[in-house]
Amino acid sequence: MKRKLVVIGAGMASGRMLEHLLAADPDGWDITLFNAEPRGNYNRIMLSPVLSGEKTWDEIVTHDEAWYAANRIACRFGEPVVRIDRQARVVHSNRGSAPYDKLVIATGSAPFVIPVPGRDLPGVVTYRDLDDTNAMIAAARPGAKAVVIGGGLLGLEAAAGLRQRGMEVTVIHLMGHLMERQLDPAAGYLLQRDLERRGIRVHCRGSTAAILGKDRVEGVLLEDNTGYEADLVCMAVGIRPETRLAVDAHLEVARGIVVDDRMVTSDPDILALGECVEHDGQLFGLVAPLYDQAKVAAATLMGQDAAFRPVQTATKLKVTGVDLFSAGDFADKPGREDIVFRDPARGVYKRLVIEQDRLIGAVMYGDTADGSWFFGLIKDATSIAPMRDTLIFGPTYQGGATANPLAAVAALPPEAEICGCNGVCKGTILTAIEGGATTLAEIRATTKASASCGTCTGLVEQVLASALGDAFEKPAAQPICGCTDLTHEDVRRLIKARGLKSMPAVMQELGWKTSCGCATCRPALNYYLLADWPGEYRDDPQSRFVNERNHANIQKDGTFSVVPRMWGGVTTPAELRAIADAAEKYAVPMVKVTGGQRIDLLGVRKEDLPAIWADLNAAGLVSGHAYAKGLRTVKTCVGSDFCRFGTQDSTGLGIRLEKRLWGSWTPHKVKLAVSGCPRNCAEATCKDVGIVCVESGYEIGVGGAAGMDVKETERLAKVATEDEAIEIVVAFVQLYREHAKYLDRPYKWLAKVGLDWVRAQVVEDRASRAALVARFDLSQSIHQRDPWAERAIPQARAGFAPLADLTREAAE
């Protein structure tokens, strides 16, 4: 007698299982197939081409009526199963029931809907089945606006499809870069750039607060208060295994329905497969492993031995013209090494992750032709030791006798392009070498190769080395760190010239050799981006040194010091009282007068910082930035107000300067002083900027120092009025902000650019001075805010406290 098989869910996994079962055992079973959707099995992954109009529905149906009829399957489509009665071995649907000997649950997964207000409005759809797809197609009038929430695989395919149908599309993504589960930030950046070129707007780090609309959807509001108009909202933020039936039937369910290697659930007569299952702690969201499960489930039903073993999967995005590939494990771990290749001109990024001579992961963007070859190396765990040096160039470079990069360059034909920016080919460079050029600088001067973006510098050097042999010496320009060959100055210039506005953009376009930089380059890049793109670049606290991240100076025992601003070194009894109260309340171990004319509270515990700041804020005191690469102090002397020798109001000028400059980030710290007469009690002649007042006006000196080097200031200008003195100081600080290398104090920078050039920009050329001042003020409109006040609020305080306290946990 035939046994009764009931299958819940006519999706991709169960469809494949039925094919295997019927092929091996066509007459063994009476099969009943329930499906919640009013249709049979189709190729769900091809919904995206249907959405974009590149395919029709008929083309993606895998099992049609004729197929089900020929295999005598009782189809109950549009009839969701609502309950499994394990005792009676019967499943109940909304309309009837069916008894079983064996039951297979293949209910797939359900789209996750974020619980925000407005999620039920008409016009809000998810992206899972044909009905969703048709709803989107119906809404897609050209010019209408769509917002896609979720920048993963599904969301981006939806976005690209809707865009192709003429909609104005915005993608909102919670994370810092698109498809963060499959791509690293570099590849995510390239993807975003390509999508933006197609007219898709991308908003990363966007958290949806509400979906707005009266009778139907009208817009989406984010938590940062950005709003986007929308005629259609597609929510594609993730999926959850559809386990409700199994839970109600008291099968073992973790995140998914738990199955063993044979796809059997905790009930020996019930199997499960597809996206609804969890195997060995793992969930599945791509079809490749589901097809393996289908094979195993069919074998189990036939009483054969089979075991499911998850294999590596590779990801591609089905958006025409977007080329990306990711496979394996590309996390940084000890013992792993990266090989990174970037071709900024073509927008290509490739990263291979190697562990013990095996390739274990790959991410590629822009050129994925070698993807399947790399994927093969990953799956087969092939030893890559013999081809390591040229591995990144793909299979066409392998197998030759000359597996080294220099030989690869030597083998290039003369017409091979070396410098993409200036269109210089290898032959041109060789001609220049024959003409006597022996250094990179000479090649740059004669051919322009490597003279623009500079990323082909390494290649040009290899051409030189292969042509000249030992006669070529690599120049010793100091790169920022091991992550790049470029110097600080190169990077600053290129950030501006090429409009690079994010850290992944810099790392990609300038060919960084590591995936996320290091503790040397990240703070520098963070500063450059902050200084060059105020308003557009978002500060990255994780790329700041501890003191700037916590807005306090770390001490040798891990406590912090707190130094409030004391404008121009002037204070009041009320401020002193507030400082004294705070010192007592938080049991500050040392209260010290600093060399910068203010008071330091040393030894404060990190978790007390927000509270002590709140107390000081309440008395009108703000952060003194004693920890910052930014304005520190403006020391003053008593000046004409009290001193019998004072010629001008040095105290007042110092306070005005401090109020104008505080809060600005600079390449290194900046210290000022204003003395009321040439006796110079404020020590103005050894500050980054020092003003000495005289009867006839103000002498402005710059480039002083009194730390590791002692330097006397040099005269920048002498002016008659306070206002002009302030303008010149502001312009000078801005010029320094825009040009100096990170961690160069002004005196070091001046030694490189020369005081004359600086004087021309900030003193002589009035228009340039005004423009510098305007740019500084623009930046201050964003950066001049008290960081303590921003962190003294309750929501921010948690970040300063321990994540957990286990001191009171007892051992069992």
Ligand X SMILES: Cc1cc2nc3c(=O)[nH]c(=O)nc-3n(C[C@H](O)[C@H](O)[C@H](O)COP(=O)(O)OP(=O)(O)OC[C@H]3O[C@@H](n4cnc5c(N)ncnc54)[C@H](O)[C@@H]3O)c2cc1C
812 binds other proteins (CB under 8 A): yes
Give the H or E element holding residue 674: strand 670-675
312 binds other proteins (CB under 8 A): no
Please name the residue that has the structure tokens 């999620």: 119
570 binds ligand SRM (CB under 6 A): no
Q: Which of 698, 783, 776, 785 is nearest to 732 (CA)?
A: 776
Residue type, position 297, single letter: A
35 binds ligand X (CB under 6 A): yes
**In angstroms, what is the minimal distance from the CB of 576 to ligand SRM?**
15
543 binds other proteins (CB under 8 A): yes
**Contact positions with other proteins (CB under 8 A) in 791-810:** 798-799, 802-807, 809-810
238 binds other proteins (CB under 8 A): no
Q: Which letter does DSSP use for residue 811 in this model?
A: P
Binding ligand X (rule: CB under 6 A), the pick from 47, 202, 363, 563 is 47
DSSP-derived pairing of the beta strands 90-93 and 81-85: antiparallel
11 binds ligand X (CB under 6 A): yes
**In angstroms, what is the minimal distance from the CB of 343 to other proteins?**
23
Binding other proteins (rule: CB under 8 A), the pick from 523, 596, 610, 646 is 523
Binding partner of residue 553 among ligand SRM, ligand X, other proteins, none, CB cut-off 5 to 8 Å per kind: ligand SRM
Residue type, position 642, single letter: F
Binding partner of residue 128 among other proteins, ligand SRM, ligand X, none, CB cut-off 5 to 8 Å per kind: ligand X
Instruction: Give one word for 569, left, alpha or beta, with left for phi > 0 and alpha for psi -120 to 50.
Output: left
Residue type, position 63, single letter: H
109 pairs with which residues across the strands?
Answer: 241
For 659, the token pair is 């109020």
545 binds other proteins (CB under 8 A): yes
Binding ligand SRM (rule: CB under 6 A), the pick from 14, 133, 633, 648 is 633
Please tell me the count of residues contacting ligand SRM according to CB under 6 A.
21
Binding other proteins (rule: CB under 8 A), the pick from 518, 618, 694, 760 is 518
Q: Which of 198, 194, 192 is nearest to 168 (CA)?
A: 198
**In angstroms, what is the minimal distance from the CB of 197 to ligand X?**
22
629 binds ligand SRM (CB under 6 A): no
245 binds ligand X (CB under 6 A): yes
Please name the residue that has the structure tokens 């369910």: 253
Phi, psi of 673 (to 5 degrees): -155, 150
Site string for ligand X, 52-81 (x = CB under 6 A): ----------------------------xx
Which range touches ligand SRM (CB under 6 A), out of 190-198, 236-244, 438-446, 593-601? 593-601
Binding partner of residue 108 among ligand X, ligand SRM, other proteins, none, CB cut-off 5 to 8 Å per kind: ligand X
**In angstroms, what is the minimal distance from the CB of 4 to other proteins?**
37
Binding other proteins (rule: CB under 8 A), the pick from 87, 225, 478, 542 is 542
**Contact positions with other proteins (CB under 8 A) in 351-390:** none
Binding partner of residue 549 among ligand SRM, other proteins, ligand X, none, CB cut-off 5 to 8 Å per kind: other proteins
3-state secondary structure 686-711: HCCEEEEEECCEEEEEECCEECCCEE
User: Of 63 and 739, which CB lies nearer to ligand SRM in the complex structure?
Assistant: 739
**In angstroms, what is the minimal distance from the CB of 60 to ligand X?**
11
> Is there a contact between 34 and 68 (Cβ–Cβ < 8 Å)?
no
**Contact positions with other proteins (CB under 8 A) in 175-204:** 176, 184-185
Binding partner of residue 311 among other proteins, ligand SRM, ligand X, none, CB cut-off 5 to 8 Å per kind: none
> What does the alpha-carbon distance between residue 691 and residue 729 come to, in Å, rounded to a whole number?
9
Which range touches ligand SRM (CB under 6 A), out of 356-364, 580-588, 659-667, 705-713? 705-713
For 551, the token pair is 């807005």
Binding ligand X (rule: CB under 6 A), the pick from 5, 52, 104, 108 is 108
Binding ligand SRM (rule: CB under 6 A), the pick from 11, 596, 630, 697 is 596
74 pairs with which residues across the strands?
Answer: 32
202 pairs with which residues across the strands?
Answer: 171
Binding ligand SRM (rule: CB under 6 A), the pick from 476, 519, 708, 767 is 708
479 binds other proteins (CB under 8 A): no
Please name the residue that has the structure tokens 């990170």: 742
Which range touches ligand X (CB under 6 A), out of 8-16, 472-480, 689-697, 699-707? 8-16
Binding other proteins (rule: CB under 8 A), the pick from 334, 469, 573, 794 is 334
> What does the alpha-carbon distance between residue 591 and residue 588 come to, in Å, rounded to a whole number?
7
Sheet with 102-105, side-by-side order of all strands:
74-77, 29-35, 3-8, 102-105, 270-272
Binding partner of residue 66 among ligand SRM, ligand X, other proteins, none, CB cut-off 5 to 8 Å per kind: none
- Please give the span between the terminal C-alpha atoms of the chain, in angstroms, as a whole number: 57
326 binds ligand X (CB under 6 A): no
> What does the alpha-carbon distance between residue 416 and residue 685 come to, in Å, rounded to a whole number?
57
Q: Which of 130, 112, 106 is nearest to 31 (CA)?
A: 106
561 binds ligand SRM (CB under 6 A): yes
Three-class secondary structure of residue 167 per DSSP: coil
Residue type, position 71, single letter: N
286 binds ligand X (CB under 6 A): yes
> What does the alpha-carbon distance between residue 775 and residue 599 come to, in Å, rounded to a whole number?
32
> What does the alpha-carbon distance between residue 679 and residue 682 come to, in Å, rounded to a whole number?
9
3-state secondary structure 393-409: HCHHHCCCCCCCHHHHH
E-only strand ranges, 456-587: 553-554, 560-562
Please name the residue that has the structure tokens 């900030």: 762
Three-class secondary structure of residue 635 per DSSP: strand
324 binds ligand SRM (CB under 6 A): no
For 358, the token pair is 């095996």
Binding partner of residue 595 among other proteins, ligand SRM, ligand X, none, CB cut-off 5 to 8 Å per kind: ligand SRM
Helix axes 440-447, 426-434, angle to 10 degrees: 110
Binding ligand SRM (rule: CB under 6 A), the pick from 553, 636, 648, 779 is 553
User: Of 478 and 807, which CB lies nearer to other proteins in the complex structure?
Assistant: 807
247 binds other proteins (CB under 8 A): no
671 binds ligand SRM (CB under 6 A): yes
> What does the alpha-carbon distance between residue 472 and residue 683 come to, in Å, rounded to a whole number?
50
Q: Quickly list H helices, 89-164.
A: 130-139, 153-164
Binding partner of residue 318 among other proteins, ligand SRM, ligand X, none, CB cut-off 5 to 8 Å per kind: ligand X
> What does the alpha-carbon distance between residue 10 and residue 368 come to, in Å, rounded to a whole number?
34
Which range touches ligand X (CB under 6 A), out of 284-292, 514-522, 561-569, 738-746? 284-292
Residue type, position 85, single letter: D
519 binds ligand SRM (CB under 6 A): no
594 binds ligand SRM (CB under 6 A): yes
> What does the alpha-carbon distance between residue 626 and residue 619 come to, in Å, rounded to a whole number?
19
689 pairs with which residues across the strands?
Answer: 672, 702
**Contact positions with ligand SRM (CB under 6 A) in 573-592:** 592
Q: Which residues would be at the binding site for ligand X (CB under 6 A)?
A: 8-14, 34-37, 44-45, 47-48, 80-81, 106-108, 127-128, 154, 242, 245, 274-275, 285-288, 290, 318
Q: Which residues would be at the binding site for ligand SRM (CB under 6 A)?
A: 553, 555, 561, 563, 592, 594-596, 598, 600, 626, 632-633, 669, 671, 705-709, 745
